[in-house]
Amino acid sequence: MTAALALSDTLPLGTKVAPAVLARLVGTGKVYGAGEHAVAALVDATLDIRAGEVTLIEGPSGSGKTTLISILGLLLRPTSGEVWIEGRDAAGLGERALPGLRARNFGFVFQGFNLFPALSALENVAMAIQMKDPRAKDPRGEARRLLDLVELGARAHHLPGDLSGGQKQRVAIARALGGNPPILIGDEPTAALDTKTALSVMELLRALASERGRAIVVVTHDPRLERFADRVIRVEDGRISEGASS
């Protein structure tokens, strides 16, 4: 995978430059078990994840969606194929190389928020920053900035139990942004929220893509979220196909 070209002042006016490819799957597959008990969870998946885009991953339960994003986020090794990050195939790297590569490139947002109940919003975000980079100079300062970014600065010192579901998910998004990863992966991040709150969370993720250049990848069962997407990827029986762009 060649590195993305930098923008140049010499480009003719009106030239369209494709968004940078931040991660790429090439012919990626995952098989669980062996012999007659083998189950193909993902088959020959090829997918580019680009800066500034929101990609929705849809499909029925058991179709391979979680396997797909787990391989993309370097949480799971593929059985076959390539996973390109930072210009190299991470599928062939040793285990010691993966945590740093994952921390630099990915932030994760889950359905269940996964906040520490005894820590304030600020402390939850600051701890995640320190875990990603023990040498971070000012984790609390960065945590405050990120909570302001998700419009929760005024509730920085509240415990998760004192926050609404939507506010908890915004804290989780701020935590995922710690360390400035270019790619955010959400596994059903709106499933536990009511419709109004879910849409407000997706509006935030859309803004992070459009205004901050993040690549947003969201697994969902909710077709109402398609309005926020640049691409919709369908997964069925481990195979992916791309639907119409919004």
Q: What does DSSP say about strands 39-50 and 21-32: parallel, antiparallel, or unpaired?
A: antiparallel
Chain centre distance of CA 193: 18
pLDDT digits (tens, 9 = 90+) for 64-103: 999 999 999 999 999 999 999 999 999 989 989 999 999 9
Q: Is the pLDDT of residue 169 over 80?
A: yes
- DSSP sequence for 18-82: PPPEEEEEEEEEEEES-GGG-EEEEEEEEEEEETT-EEEEE--TTSSHHHHHHHHTTSS--SEEE
**How wide is the angle at C-alpha 49 spanned by C-alphas 112 and 233, nearest 5°?**
70
DSSP H stretches of helix in 51-138: 65-72, 98-105, 121-132
Helix H or strand E segment including 197: helix 195-212
The domains of the chain, with CATH numbers, are 52-61+95-242 (3.40.50.300)
**Can you give the pTM of this predicted structure?**
0.86
Under DSSP, is residue 139 helix (H, G, I), strand (E, B) or coil? helix
Task: Please report which confidence band the pLDDT of residue 2 belongs to, taking 50, 70 and 90 as the band edges.
Answer: very low
Instruction: Write down the pLDDT at residue 35.
Output: 84
Query: In angstroms, rounded to a whole number, what is the distance separating the alpha carbons of residues 201 and 177?
Result: 14
Instruction: Write down the pLDDT at residue 172.
Output: 93
pLDDT digits (tens, 9 = 90+) for 232-243: 999 999 999 886
Chain centre distance of CA 129: 16
pLDDT digits (tens, 9 = 90+) for 96-146: 999 999 999 999 998 888 899 999 999 999 999 988 888 888 999 999 999
Q: What is the residue-averaged pLDDT of the chain?
A: 88
